[in-house]
Chains A and B, each alone.
Chain A
């Protein structure tokens, strides 16, 4: 097979058995790889209603279709499973070069099933795979695990692992690769921990077969050339993703003090220039990336001086900084390093801490119930202590490790209003009251409260259209224009293809669908034009939705926290704004071809997308 290696590993951890399986080409054509292929396996193999942390849940790692090739930023892999945080479909993607090394080891992906009796790690070395005892590594964090495994196996192995947070089943634990890169969202690290799978070490030199090498190289070279003179690439390389902090803040949409306002008064202390001045060592990029938005960094002063790592990136600064009302950039950077080492999602961790700070402010949680801690907004020392406690599930950290939805259910007293999650997944650092269409994207994203499912923040907060869809312009971000619901649908579909291909979504800003279709067509030899590009994204997106419907999700779940729906922003350019989500929902379902009452993909839509075999599963007993 061209593009893909054509094989996956199936690892039964209960029995300690490893099987090699071929990927049918027809399946690859329909779902490409990465998120698409993994979601297909998950849909087919996970029974609805199972415990995400139980043996029946599958944990699937899958490299993208173009991952490991000469296409720009072809570095990514996806982890797909059922989330212990949201109880629905989970996907988390990561860059670096682990996904490339997995593919070069001879396999596109790995399906883990069952639960190991004792801690284990998987070694894949040029098509040979073996499970080994990880007892010595259990209880260790990501940096130490990676170091020890490399000492044991050799420096040429690349490691993806969980830290203590994953072992302790923190509901938003991450899987880390290349030390600093995270498959962060949805608690995929907790699923790995539940299986007592500590790490996966990969190495390989297997070549990816390309259908038309000359044509592929020509297209890829052209893409590099286009990106080389893109102002967007330059902005990201110069400032990293923190580039956008000022841009979001001037729209009045930077969530501050747990979304009590959208204006952060100290933004100049935490923005891209502050990062460059205070901690930047040099920009770093993922495999084959022409942009280099990563930050190699070092804390140079204060109590954490001497600590080194990568980051922080926008979401960390947005959550640990503005949301927690903390302007101490060194402390924010330290929180980021800690999350990476413990294996924690920075968005959910920062958001959860901001939430508990507001609970403390309102007296919903007290010093006594917080184990003697005073959890004030703006207290950076407390914030750092809480990161440790969450990862170790110590004291109040045991409660915080459950995420905002479950904490609010436990604490009550109106805290649900400002538990800032959708479907249980903590929201990222963009206040949708400052750009209305982004509220629709939060409400409908398949994995829950998420920004990069549609990244409609690009054409709104950042005033930057995405070329990968024909029309992504939002005329007035503060108006609800029902017609613009189509932009969310189109962007969800297009960016799904990026996850399936294994490419960074930033590439969708500068290159269009034709350029991406050409990459896939020349790589695989398939007839793959713009129409196939769009249909494939839509097909995968509908399959994921069907997974969630099968788990019991309905239209009622496509909503936002009460704060966004009912509490007007108190100041700034978006003063007085709330999300009038209902204006968007019906048109969105119409554009999607979903039933407006139930939110289910209609049988007609599923047939149109070549998914008729799943109709019975989501209309069981109805038709």
Chain B
């Protein structure tokens, strides 16, 4: 397994992303490395996000809790590296690295899906603790409130990348999705 934080991990992760972007068709399936890469591009190209998040400092990690029926045998950690309106990168990362992010937002897969599909409001989900800031820290919670518009913009952008979710797939594709996640787990610790 590649060691997260090493050049080898970075290079091989970039490689798998590029390979899959060539082999897979758009819109990509939510929760795959190619989808994550497209999400990164969306944020980086969004002027509105740059404006409303110009004071934001710190990484945000979306934790999609495992849901075997939906095709997720393990939790997925999506690490979004943000600073003053810029998005440095968005990557799937191992759990340990994800937990070290500045703002770790954890929720059931189904809730994240509904948020990305704009059926639920992310601020409301945070306010009602359906999506949790883990661990809950007063200072961070305050910063999140002040950045409510930026949070909404981020999830809006994620929804613009694709509306194909793993549990919407036919059984053969679900198998392939599960196999991909298994491979990512084995090679990258994701």
Stretch at the interface among B67-75, B108-116, B128-136: B128-136
Task: Map CB proximity to A onto B138-158 as digits: 1 under 8 Å, 0 otherwise.
Answer: 110111111011011000000
Bound form: Cα–Cα A473–B118 in Å: 11
Given A250-B51, A467-B128; A231-B141 close (CB under 8 Å): yes
Bound form: Cα–Cα A230–B149 in Å: 17
Instruction: Report chain A residues within 8 Å CB of B129.
Output: 226, 229-230
Bound form: Cα–Cα A436–B126 in Å: 26
Do the beta carbons of B146 and A243 come within 8 Å of each other? yes
Bound form: Cα–Cα A558–B168 in Å: 49
Q: How far is the CB of B148 from chain A (nearest CB, A)?
A: 4
Given A235-B141, A246-B55; A509-B127 close (CB under 8 Å): yes
Do the beta carbons of B136 and A229 come within 8 Å of each other? yes
The reply to whether the CB of A510 lies closer than 8 angstroms to some CB of chain B is yes
Instruction: Report chain B residues within 8 Å CB of A226.
Output: 129
Do the beta carbons of B51 and A234 come within 8 Å of each other? no
Bound form: Cα–Cα A510–B124 in Å: 9
Do the beta carbons of B144 and A231 come within 8 Å of each other? yes
Instruction: Report chain A residues within 8 Å CB of B141.
Output: 229-231, 234-235
Bound form: Cα–Cα A517–B91 in Å: 45
Bound form: Cα–Cα A473–B125 in Å: 13
Do the beta carbons of B127 and A467 come within 8 Å of each other? yes
The secondary structure that dominates the B interface is helix
Choose among B126, B142, B152 the residue with the greatest number of A CB atoms under 10 Å from its CB. Answer: B142
Given A230-B127, A231-B126; A237-B142 close (CB under 8 Å): yes
The reply to whether the CB of A463 lies closer than 8 angstroms to some CB of chain B is yes
Task: Map CB proximity to B onto A242-259 as digits: 1 under 8 Å, 0 otherwise.
Answer: 010011001100000000
Do the beta carbons of A246 and B146 come within 8 Å of each other? yes
The reply to whether the CB of B60 lies closer than 8 angstroms to some CB of chain A is no
The reply to whether the CB of A260 lies closer than 8 angstroms to some CB of chain B is no
Choose among A231, A235, A237 the residue with the greatest number of B CB atoms under 10 Å from its CB. Answer: A231
Q: How far is the CB of B99 from chain A (nearest CB, A)?
A: 19
Bound form: Cα–Cα A246–B126 in Å: 20
The reply to whether the CB of A464 lies closer than 8 angstroms to some CB of chain B is yes
Do the beta carbons of B121 and A238 come within 8 Å of each other? no
The reply to whether the CB of A33 lies closer than 8 angstroms to some CB of chain B is no
Do the beta carbons of A463 and B148 come within 8 Å of each other? yes
Do the beta carbons of A238 and B138 come within 8 Å of each other? yes
Bound form: Cα–Cα A243–B148 in Å: 11
Do the beta carbons of A231 and B124 come within 8 Å of each other? no
Q: How far is the CB of A125 from chain B (nearest CB, A)?
A: 40
Instruction: Report chain A residues within 8 Å CB of B138.
Output: 234, 237-238
The reply to whether the CB of A288 lies closer than 8 angstroms to some CB of chain B is no
Bound form: Cα–Cα A573–B126 in Å: 26
Task: Map CB proximity to B onto A473-493 as digits: 1 under 8 Å, 0 otherwise.
Answer: 100000000000000000000
Q: What total of chain B residues lie within 8 Å of the partner, measured CB to CB? A: 25
Q: What total of chain A residues lie within 8 Å of the partner, measured CB to CB? A: 26
Instruction: Report chain B residues within 8 Å CB of A239.
Output: 142, 146
Do the beta carbons of B55 and A231 come within 8 Å of each other? no
Q: How far is the CB of A47 from chain B (nearest CB, A)?
A: 46
Task: Map CB proximity to B onto A201-243 as digits: 1 under 8 Å, 0 otherwise.
Answer: 0000000000000000000000000100111101111110001
Partner of B145, one of A229, A234, A467, A473: A234
Bound form: Cα–Cα A272–B147 in Å: 13
The reply to whether the CB of A28 lies closer than 8 angstroms to some CB of chain B is no
Given A235-B142, A250-B51; A465-B121 close (CB under 8 Å): yes
The reply to whether the CB of A553 lies closer than 8 angstroms to some CB of chain B is no
Instruction: Report chain B residues within 8 Å CB of A364.
Output: none
The reply to whether the CB of B97 lies closer than 8 angstroms to some CB of chain A is no
Instruction: Report chain B residues within 8 Å CB of A463.
Output: 121, 123, 148-149, 151-152
Do the beta carbons of A272 and B152 come within 8 Å of each other? no
The reply to whether the CB of A462 lies closer than 8 angstroms to some CB of chain B is yes
Q: How far is the CB of A192 from chain B (nearest CB, A)?
A: 37
Task: Map CB proximity to B onto A446-483 as digits: 1 under 8 Å, 0 otherwise.
Answer: 00000000000000001111010000010000000000
Instruction: Report chain B residues within 8 Å CB of A510.
Output: 127-128
Given A235-B141, A465-B123, A509-B127; A272-B52 close (CB under 8 Å): no
Instruction: Report chain A residues within 8 Å CB of B143.
Output: 238
Q: How far is the CB of B82 from chain A (nearest CB, A)?
A: 16
Do the beta carbons of A473 and B127 come within 8 Å of each other? no
Do the beta carbons of B148 and A234 come within 8 Å of each other? no
Instruction: Report chain A residues within 8 Å CB of B152.
Output: 463
Instruction: Report chain A residues within 8 Å CB of B55.
Output: 246
Partner of B127, one of A231, A237, A251, A573: A231
Instruction: Report chain B residues within 8 Å CB of A234.
Output: 138-139, 141-142, 144-145
Instruction: Report chain B residues within 8 Å CB of A230.
Output: 127, 129, 141
Bound form: Cα–Cα A229–B134 in Å: 11
Instruction: Report chain B residues within 8 Å CB of A467.
Output: 124, 127-128
Within 8 A of B (CB), among A59-93: none
Partner of A238, one of B123, B139, B149: B139
Instruction: Report chain A residues within 8 Å CB of B146.
Output: 235, 239, 243, 246-247, 272
Q: List 23 A-B contacts (CB under 8 A).
A: A226-B129, A229-B129, A231-B127, A232-B127, A232-B145, A234-B138, A237-B142, A238-B139, A238-B142, A239-B142, A239-B146, A243-B142, A247-B146, A247-B148, A250-B52, A464-B123, A464-B145, A465-B121, A465-B124, A467-B128, A510-B127, A510-B128, A573-B48
Interface residues of A (CB under 8 A from B): 226, 229-232, 234-239, 243, 246-247, 250-251, 272, 462-465, 467, 473, 509-510, 573
| Given A230-B141, A234-B141, A463-B121; 17 other pairs, CB 8 A cutoff | A231-B126, A231-B133, A232-B145, A234-B139, A234-B145, A238-B139, A239-B146, A247-B149, A251-B149, A272-B146, A463-B151, A464-B124, A464-B127, A464-B145, A465-B123, A510-B127, A510-B128
Among all A-B residue pairs, the 7 with the closest Cβ atoms: A235-B145, A238-B142, A234-B141, A231-B141, A463-B148, A234-B142, A465-B124
